[in-house]
Chain A
Amino acid sequence: MPRIVVDVMPKPEILDPQGKAIVGALPRLGFTAFSSVRQGKRFELMVDGEVTEEILAQARDAAETLLSNPVIEDVVNVEVVEA
């Protein structure tokens, strides 16, 4: 069953409090190579049958209207992944 993957990230200019907490915890476990972390969201939309252009357009629309809030987040990726 094909999936449409949507990736959403906090806007670059917005300080990501969750990422900040994670980057603070990494060195405590010995992971010292990472200077910053940003945490986003990945959505997987299942499709019964073929992913048409129309269905992909719907996914892009859903990504902009519900899955992300354009004030604080960017949709960075919408792609079809075959199962």
Chain B
Amino acid sequence: MTELPLIGEAIADAPAARRLAGARIGVITFPGTLDDRDAARAVRLAGATPVALWHADTTLGDVDAIVIPGGFSYGDYLRAGAIARFAPLMAKVIDAANSDAKLPVLGICNGFQILTESHLLPGSMIKNDHLKFMCRDQILRVENNSTDWTGDYQPGQEITVPLKNQDGQYIADEKTLDALEAEGRVVFRYVGFNPNGSRRDIAGISNAAGNVVGLMPHPEHAVEAGFGPESLDGIGGSDTEGLGFFTSVLNKIVGDTK
């Protein structure tokens, strides 16, 4: 993908940077996907190489991780994510996520909806309890930093990233919710305000192995200074708190580069 050059790109020719850039992270585009470019840019800002994948592709290529970005795949027809789930490439994603190699997969917003429809993650999303589309900067608490996508955060760390959705109310039956809590699979919780009526303030969850993570808010929109969310505390510095998702998976792929 051709993009604006990144600040500091010229000096990225150190051996560690080359190792990072060797990590290939696929970003899937479905008809109606909205945030694939931002997700690819976030991958590049973290130091890895984004690989554009198309829903009708029949192979994943040799990617080391997958991001399923937000948007309105197939216009949200039937149910959000329901038709995308049966795209040819999704069969490969499901196999790779469940394989022994446990390919890291991140689903953001519509990508989260696609992951629940694919049964890679439990539960489902229904319309926001207040029935309105909501767009705001949202504080999240990182409840589990041992997943493939959250290793660079501290447990309990609060981050601010944008949230924008209409079908964002996470629901599951009580038994499933209890199991998610007991197994530490509630990865993110809304702090201060529940923007959509999600059960137990859940913003994001993972599978049992921690390689598949889905959340409604958008970390890929908070990766670049000057373009992230307004600082909610008025002090500043919350611009890039979403970048940790992408550096976390990169550390997981490349090994310890810190």
Contact = CB atoms under 8 A, between A and B. Distances in A.
Interface of A: 10, 13-15, 17-18, 20-21, 66-67, 69, 71-72
Given A66-B82, A69-B82, A71-B172, A18 B127 contact: yes
Contacts, number: 33
B248 interface: no
Given A14-B171, A66-B78, A66-B86, A71 B129 contact: no
10 smallest beta-carbon distances between A and B, as pairs = A71-B124, A17-B127, A72-B124, A17-B131, A21-B131, A69-B124, A69-B79, A72-B126, A17-B129, A71-B123
Interface string B69-94: 00000000011001000100000000
Contacts of B131: 17-18, 20-21
The secondary structure that dominates the B interface is loop
Nearest to A43: B78
A21 B128 CA distance: 12
Interface string B85-110: 01000000000000000000000000
A11 to B, nearest CB: 9
A72 B82 CA distance: 13
Interface of B: 78-79, 82, 86, 116-117, 122-124, 126-129, 131, 169, 171-173
Nearest to B122: A71
Contacts of B78: 66-67
Contacts of A13: 173
B131 to A, nearest CB: 5
A66 to B, nearest CB: 7
A83 B126 CA distance: 34
B89 to A, nearest CB: 17
Contacts of A15: 129
